[in-house]
């Protein structure tokens, strides 16, 4: 039998730290408090904001705003270089603060975590009390830090609730309030609906949450092209949907080049430095790669080449691998791809480079090669042990000399750096 509203208690509390990177900077630097702050990956005019304080957001500055536009929108904006190590340290402290109130069930990103409510905590009054305790614990970590909290029957709706009131919000979404309390929202405001899905829905006349609620399960499956439509239908109505744990599909790093590094030779050195990070993470996570990709963005009209590898902004190359996790093999691969690409379309002004490994296999399912790579694997693991003991960059292959400190740790919002990335 289908669930009734009375059978859908408040099961989840989701914590979303507001303007996280910018707030941490304001916490650490009192002179920034109350001022518009834009956090950037590096202090160059060609980059963009990766976070903005609420004072900056009032001027229209947001994630992705170019530095030149930040200055145009708000000449007094404070432009601050990101400090990923600091954000990770605060993240760890904030997890502990939330854990002092109730268990954290899932860390969803650097600035977001979900907690399952149990027993008497599913009562709305009790859940609200817990939320206020969490807010107090967060302020205990840093008086500037704030969080928005959403409480709902499932994680999907708890996330939506946390997004609807910022900063420092507390919103409860009950099943009996649906869809009335959210029907005015645009479909794009729901987690899981990106630009492509938004266009697909718009083609069906679906633009708001009210339009989504009007779809039948069959129409939802057709819109999503399969079972995900059914999952979305049920999640939207407050049902608990089994979450399939998705295996990590790829590991990658990218870097915007400082002006002095925008030559083919120095860009390759940075790419090789990124290879060291990727390979170390493969080994740390017990994974093997069967695919590799190289991506280069550039300025200007660097050359001409085939339509498959070259356009006005970038070129990309991929290679298949025997199951691999050693640094030397990946270095050889990136050098080969770089040489091929340069022969096809010489590049004058590289702007950014990225490397990634994909088609990953866990240790338990790794097929050992007939051609022994033991010496390479042993060398890579020995380097890992040295770097773990004496600090990141204590040892590396000579080809990256001169680029060893040009690609510092970056944080994606959806990924907390692992131990390999956090070594000092």
- Looking at 2-128, which runs of residues are DSSP E strands? 12-17, 37-40, 51-52, 78-81, 106-109, 112-116
Q: Give the residue carrying structure tokens 């069906």.
A: 204
Distance CA(1)–CA(18), nearest Å, equals 40
Cβ–Cβ under 8 Å, residues 352 and 257:
yes
C-alpha torsion 187→191→193→194, nearest 10:
120
User: What are the two backbone dihedrals, phi and then psi, of residue 94, each rounded to the nearest 5 degrees?
Assistant: -70, -35
Query: 196-227 in b/e burial notation, b at 16+ Cβ within 10 A?
Result: ebbeebeeeebebbebbbebeeeebbebbeee
Tell me if 310 sits within 8 A of 303, measured CB to CB. yes
For strands 250-256 and 350-362, give the pairing.
antiparallel
CA–CA separation, 289 and 361 (whole Å): 6
- What's the rounded Cα separation, in Å, for the pair 286 and 278? 12
Of 25, 55, 112, 272, the active-site residue reads 112
8 Å CB contact between 403 and 272: yes
Spatial separation of the C-alpha atoms in residues 332 and 348, rounded to whole Å: 22
Q: Decide if 55 is catalytic.
A: no
**Are the C-beta atoms of residues 135 and 113 closer than 8 Å to each other?**
no
What positions carry a catalytic annotation? 112
């Amino acid at each position: 039998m289908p669930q009734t509203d009375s059978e859908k208690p408040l099961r989840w509390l989701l914590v979303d730290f507001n303007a996280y990177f910018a707030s941490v900077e304001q916490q650490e630097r009192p002179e920034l408090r109350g001022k518009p702050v834009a956090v950037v990956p590096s202090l160059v005019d060609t980059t963009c904001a990766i976070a903005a304080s609420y004072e900056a957001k009032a001027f229209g500055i947001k994630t992705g705003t170019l530095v030149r536009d930040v200055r145009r929108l708000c000449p007094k904006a404070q432009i601050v270089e990101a400090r990923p190590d600091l954000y990770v340290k605060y993240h760890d402290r904030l997890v502990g603060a939330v854990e002092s109130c109730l268990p954290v069930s899932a860390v969803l990103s650097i600035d977001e975590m979900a907690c399952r409510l149990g027993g008497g905590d599913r009562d709305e009054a009790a859940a609200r009390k817990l939320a206020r305790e969490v807010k107090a614990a967060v302020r205990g970590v840093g008086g500037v830090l704030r969080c928005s909290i959403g409480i709902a029957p499932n994680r999907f709706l708890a996330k939506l609730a946390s997004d609807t009131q910022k900063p420092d919000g507390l919103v409860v979404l009950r099943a009996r309030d649906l869809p009335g309390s959210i029907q005015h929202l645009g479909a794009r405001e729901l987690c899981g609906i990106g630009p492509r899905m938004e266009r697909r829905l718009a083609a069906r006349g679906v633009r708001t949450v009210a339009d989504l609620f009007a779809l039948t399960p069959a129409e939802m499956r057709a819109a999503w092209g399969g079972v995900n439509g059914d999952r979305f239908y049920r999640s939207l109505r407050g049902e608990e949907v089994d979450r399939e744990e998705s295996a990590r599909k790829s590991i990658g790093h990218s870097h915007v080049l400082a002006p002095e590094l925008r030559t083919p030779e120095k860009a390759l050195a940075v790419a090789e430095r990124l290879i060291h990070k990727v390979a170390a993470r493969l080994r740390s996570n017990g994974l093997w790669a069967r695919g590799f990709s190289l991506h280069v963005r550039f300025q200007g009209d660097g050359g001409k080449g085939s339509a498959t590898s070259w356009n006005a902004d970038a070129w990309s190359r991929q290679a298949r691998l025997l199951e691999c996790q050693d640094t030397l093999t990946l270095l050889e691969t990136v050098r080969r791809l770089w040489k091929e690409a340069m022969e096809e379309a010489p590049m004058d002004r590289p702007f950014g480079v990225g490397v990634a490994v994909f088609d990953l296999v866990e240790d338990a399912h790794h097929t050992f090669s007939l051609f022994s790579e033991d010496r390479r694997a042993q060398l890579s693991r020995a380097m890992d042990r040295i770097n773990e003991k004496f600090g990141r960059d204590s040892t590396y292959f000579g080809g990256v000399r001169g680029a060893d400190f040009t690609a510092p740790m970056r944080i994606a919002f959806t990924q907390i750096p692992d131990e390999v990335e956090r070594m000092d």
